[in-house]
A and B are shown apart, each in its own frame.
Chain A
Amino acid sequence: MTLAAAKDKDQDQATPAGSSRPNTVRPRTYGLADRPTLAISLAALAVLLVVWELVTRFGLVQSLFLPTPGEVWTQFVAVSTDGYAGATLSEHIGASLLRIFTAAVIASSTAIPIGLAMGLNRWAKGLADPIIEFYWPLPPLAYLPLMIIWLGIGESSKITLLTLAMFAPICLSAQAGVRGLPVERINAALSLGGTRWQVLRTVILPGALPEILTGVRIAIGVGWSTLVAAELIAATRGIGFMIMSAAQFLATDVVFVGIGVIAVFAFTFSLGLQLLERWLVPWKGPQ
C-alpha cells in the first residue's frame, strides 16, 4: 500500500457521518429482502387506470364490454345512493361481510384447535387427515348443490359453504405451525414443570401463531372468492348477488362496481391481518 493510499484511508475514517451522505450498500440476496414495493405498486395501478381510460375513450372497446372509469364511478355513486337489485350498496356489502365474518369466526374457532391437535396427536391426525385431504381440493361450486339440498337456500347453506372453504387453510397452517416448533422449546417447558396444557398454552399456541395468522389470511382470500358462488344460492342481498344480477342485464358498469368493492375489502382485510400479525408477533420478521 502506498503512502498516499494510506493517507486517503485515514481521511475517509475521519469524515464525519452525515456531512455528505455516503453511498450505502446492501448485500446481494435472492428475493426481496424487505425492500419497499409500494411506489412500484402505485405506479402500476396508475398506468393501468390510464390505459383503461385511453382504451375506452378512443372507442377501442365498446362500452358494453368495458365501461369508462368515469361511467363506473357514476354508477358507483348511483348504486350507493339509489341501490341496485332491491338493496343499497351498503346493504349488499353488509350482507356479504356478515357472511364472511361469521364463516371466518366459525372456521377459526374449529380449525385452530383441530389443526393443533392434528400436529400433536396421532389419533387426531389419523382421523381428520382423510376427511380434509378429500374435501379440500374440491371446488366449492361442486359441493354447493349438496349444501342446498341439505341445508336449504337460507343463510346456513351459504355460511357452511364459506366455512368449509376457509377451514382447510387454517387447519393445515395450524398443523404446520406445530410441526415447525423447535423441540428444545417444548423440552425446556416440560423440564420447568409445565403440564401438557400449560405447555400448549404458553409455548405451542404462541409459537404456531405466525403460521396460523398466515392461514387465516389465505382463508379470508378463499372466502371472498367463494362468496360469489355462495350468493348464487337464491340470495336477495350481497355483493356477489349484485354482480350476478347485473350480469344478467349486461350492466357491465355495475359488475365493475361490485368487483371494485370486493377488491377494496379484500385488500383492507389482508392489510388489517398483516397489521394484526405485526402487533401479535412482533418478534417475527427482520431482526
Chain B
Amino acid sequence: MLQVRQASVFFEQGGGRIVQALKRVSLDLPTGGIVMALGASGCGKSTLLNAIAGFLPLSEGVILLDGMPVERPGADRGVVFQKDALLPWRSAADNVALGLEYAGMPRRERRERAEALLRLVHLEGFADARPNELSGGMRQRVGLARALATDPKVLLMDEPFGALDSQTREHMQDLLVEVWAKTAKQVFFITHSIEEALMLGTTILVMLPRPGRIVAHWELDFVQRIAAGEKAEAVRREKRFGALHDEIRTLIHAGEQVGSVQ
C-alpha cells in the first residue's frame, strides 16, 4: 500500500518567488484501486505524481510504499508519461523489455514477455515496429506495456491519454479497465477530464490550486461495474453519474474563481 502523509512541496520560481505546489497532502492508494486526480492545471497534480515516482523530493512529509519511505525512482512504481518517453531507436518489443533488461533477464525470456505484454495491449504484430512508425495511441499502449513489464506495485499515469483524439482515448480507457481487471495494481491517474475520472476511478480526488491541495474525494463503483460487463454507455447515462459530474465541475470552477481573486 502506498501512503502519502502530510506532503508539502515548495518551489522557488524566477525572481525568488516561492510557490507552494502541495500543501499537507495525504492520500492512500489501495491495492486494486484506481485513484483519479482531477483539478485545473497548476493545482499540483503532476507535482504529486512526480513525488510518488521519486522524481521530486518533498519539502515536508513522507511517502511510504509498504511502510518503506520512497526516495528515488524504482521499478516498484511504473510510470506512463503524457508525452511518450519511448526510446526512438528501439523497437516496440525492445522498449517494453527495457526494464526486464535492467533486471538482468535473459534475451529470449525478455522477448517472450514483451510479446505477451504487447498482446495484452492489443499490439500483437507490432513487436518490431519503431515508435515513429506507430500512431500516438499505439505509442501510449507501448508505454503502458513497458510500465507493466517489471510488474510494479504502483502504476502512475500523468494525463496519459490527454494528447489523443476522443475515439482513441475511449479505446485506451477500455484497455486500461481491461488491464486493471487482470492485474491488481495501485493506480494513480491524473486527468483534467471529469468524464474520464468518473469512468475510470474507484476514487476521485479533486485538487485546487494556490496552494495545491486535496479538497474532496468520492468512492465510486462505475468502473467495477463496467469491468463486470455493464455497458459503459448505460453507466454514463445514469442520474448519479450526471449529478457527480455537475458537482465536481462546480467545485473545480469555484476553486478557480477564488484562486484568481487572491
- A-B complex is real: yes
Residues of B close to A206: CB separation below 8 A: 87, 89
Closest beta carbon of chain B to A216's beta carbon, Å: 18
Asked if B87 and A192 sit within 8 Å, CB to CB, the answer is: no
A192-B75, A192-B150, A193-B75 known; A187 and B102 CB under 8 Å? Answer: no
- Report Cα–Cα, A36/B72, bound state, in Å: 49
- Could you tell me if A184 and B81 are in contact, using CB atoms closer than 8 angstroms? yes
Q: Does A193 contact B87, Cβ atoms closer than 8 Å?
A: no
User: Is B102 in contact with A184, judged by CB distance below 8 angstroms?
Assistant: no
Let me know if B98 and A189 touch, CB within 8 A: yes
Task: Chain A residues near B54: list those with CB within 8 A.
Answer: 190-191
List the B side residues contacting A193 at CB < 8 Å. 74-75, 99, 102-103, 150
Q: Is the Cβ of A202 less than 8 Å from the Cβ of B98?
A: yes
Given contacts A184-B85, A185-B87, contact A202 B72 (CB under 8 A): no
Interface size in chain A (residues, C-beta < 8 A):
22
Complex Cα distance, B85 from A287, in Å, reads: 17
The answer to whether A188 and B72 touch (CB under 8 A), given A193-B99, A193-B150, is: no
| Binary A-proximity of B76-108 (CB < 8 A = 1, otherwise 0) | 011101010101110000000011011100000
Q: Fill in one digit per residue for A177-204: 1 if any B CB lies within 8 Å of its CB, else 0.
A: 0000010110111111111001000110
Which residues of chain A are near B149, meaning CB under 8 Å?
A: 192
B130 and A283 contact, CB distance less than 8 A: yes
Tell me the chain A residues, 138-185 only, with Cβ under 8 Å from chain B: 182, 184-185
CA distance A281 to B132 in the complex (A): 13
Q: Which residue on chain A has the smallest CB distance to residue B83?
A: A184
CB distance from A99 to the nearest CB of B (A): 33
Q: Does B73 contact A (CB under 8 A)?
A: yes
| CB-based contact B146/A192 at 8 Å | yes
Instruction: Report chain B residues within 8 Å CB of A192.
Output: 75, 78, 98-99, 102, 146-147, 149-150
Q: Are B101's CB and A187's CB within 8 A?
A: no
Residues 49-77 of B contacting A (Cβ, < 8 Å):
53-55, 72-75, 77
> Which residues of the other chain, B, contact A282 by a CB distance below 8 angstroms?
89
> Which residues of A have CB within 8 Å of B75?
191-193
Residue of A nearest to B130 (CB): A283
Name the CB-closest residue of B to A283. Answer: B88
B102→A182 contact, CB < 8 A = no
Residue from A188, A195, A281, A283 within 8 A of B85 (CB atoms):
A188
* Shortest distance from the beta carbon of B159 to any chain A beta carbon, whole Å: 13
- Selected contact of A198 from candidates B87, B88, B102, B146, CB within 8 Å: B102
Q: Using a CB-CB cutoff of 8 Å, which residues 232-287 of chain A contact chain B?
A: 281-284, 287
Docked-complex contact B72 and A190, CB < 8 angstroms: yes
Nearest residue, chain B, Cβ from A210: B89
Contact residues in B for A198 (Cβ distance below 8 Å): 101-102
The answer to whether B73 touches A187, judged by C-beta atoms less than 8 angstroms apart, is: yes
Nearest-neighbor residue (CB-CB) of A206 within chain B? B89
In the assembly, what is the distance between CA of A182 and CA of B74, in Å? 19
**B87 near A191: Cβ-Cβ < 8 Å:** no
Given A182-B85, A202-B98, A283-B89: A191 in contact with B132 (beta carbons within 8 A): no
Known contacts A185-B85, A202-B87, A283-B89; is-contact A191 B79 (Cβ 8 Å): yes
**Which chain B positions have C-beta within 8 A of A190?**
54-55, 72-74
Q: How far is the CB of A77 from chain B (nearest CB, A)?
A: 47
Residues of chain B lying within 8 A (CB to CB) of residue A187:
53, 55, 73, 79, 81, 85
Given contacts A283-B132, A287-B132, contact A195 B79 (CB under 8 A): no
Closest CB-CB distance, A133 to chain B, in whole Å? 27
**Which of chain B's residues has its CB closest to A284's CB?**
B88
Q: In the assembly, what is the distance between CA of A207 and CA of B89, in Å?
A: 9
When chains A and B are docked, how far (Å) is the Cα of A203 from the Cα of B102? 12
A191 contacts B102, C-beta separation under 8 Å: no
Contacts of B89 on A, CB cut-off 8 Å? Answer: 206, 281-283
Q: How far is the CA of A192 from the CA of B143 in the complex (A)?
A: 11
Given known pairs A184-B81, A185-B87, A281-B89, the reply for A191 and B130 (CB within 8 Å) is: no
Cβ of A281: which chain B residues have Cβ within 8 Å of it?
A: 89
Binding site for B on A (CB under 8 A): 182, 184-185, 187-195, 198, 202-203, 206-207, 281-284, 287
Name 12 A/B residue pairs within 8 A (Cβ), A-sorted. A182-B85, A184-B85, A185-B87, A187-B79, A190-B74, A191-B79, A191-B147, A193-B74, A202-B101, A206-B87, A207-B87, A283-B89
Given contacts A191-B73, A203-B87, 4 further A-B contacts (CB under 8 A): A188-B146, A190-B54, A190-B55, A192-B150
Which 7 residue pairs across A and B have the least CB separation, nearest first? A193-B75, A192-B99, A184-B85, A190-B73, A188-B85, A191-B73, A283-B88
